[in-house]
Amino acid sequence: MEQEIDTNLLGEQIVKKLKTIYDPEIPVDIYELGLIYDVMVNTDYEVKILMTLTSPNCPVAESLPREVEEKVKGIENVKAAEVEITFDPPWSKDLMSEEAKLELGML
């Protein structure tokens, strides 16, 4: 019998891992910055992350999604990870968490 996947627990582990990745220009992690739009996990332990960048010309446009993929693939039980970049809706400061705004002195 196959082991039942706890997608909520795996989702929490993914978010925890995403909080270790920082935008190089802003001292806030990409999750609190609001760059992660969605995290989807299927029963085959495959992860798809829908994310954006602070701008289409972001200097880490190539390296940041690759870092996200690699770090998520490193989580135990994750068999595959794919990052899709979108600019719809475009990122804005409104997407930042209260924690991020406080860290940047915006509150």
pLDDT tens string for the chain (107 positions)? 345 667 788 889 999 999 999 988 888 999 999 999 999 998 888 999 999 999 888 888 889 999 999 999 999 989 999 999 999 999 999 999 999 999 899 88
The structure tokens listed for 10 are: 């795996």
Give the Cα separation of 67 and 60 in Å (integer). Answer: 10
pTM: 0.89
